Amino acid sequence: MVEKNQPSLLDFLEGKAFSAGLHLQIPDQPYLTRFELLEKLLKNKTVIHIGFADHKDLIMRKIENNTWLHKRLIEISQECVGIDIDCEAVEFAREKLSIPNVFCLDIVEADLPTEIRSARWDYALLGEVIEHINDPVRFLTSLRKKALRSSKFSDHYDSQRLQNQQF
């Protein structure tokens, strides 16, 4: 319960208040891994997976360990399209793994393929991408300028999950 004139938790989250010793009570609930959370969120949805490829040399090992996110998304989503700037990894996914609907392009500089631009997508997933972008504001603005029609954007990292449904 918030005492009168005491900042609320939202004040701290919005940066209106600060405390180096803020104590939070976290409800006792089952822990979901990043994969479980994303699979639950994206099941039977249409998804554009930006930055889908990961590092080409790690893809096979991740598939063997069931930790390559794009393969898992293909299995649970209604439709999943991959975009990545690493053309060698995209070609590997397309040719060696027979994964369709993957595109190599710089999403800031290049035009989106018609099949992506013309469709309505439930989510655009920016998987471990933002931390590699020199100018994230330009990158995200470019997604909107290119008329990427997605109702929700979701970004995630290995160590934390952040979902922005208002961008």
pLDDT tens digit string along 96-119?
999 999 999 998 889 888 888 888
pLDDT tens digit string along 55-77?
899 999 999 999 999 999 999 99
pLDDT tens digit string along 117-159?
888 888 888 877 888 888 888 888 887 777 566 566 666 554 4
- All structural domains of the chain, each given as residue ranges with its CATH number in brackets, are 32-164 (3.40.50.150)
pTM of the predicted protein model: 0.74
Alpha-carbon distances, residue 143 vs 16, 68, 92, 114, 140 (angstroms): 29, 24, 25, 14, 5
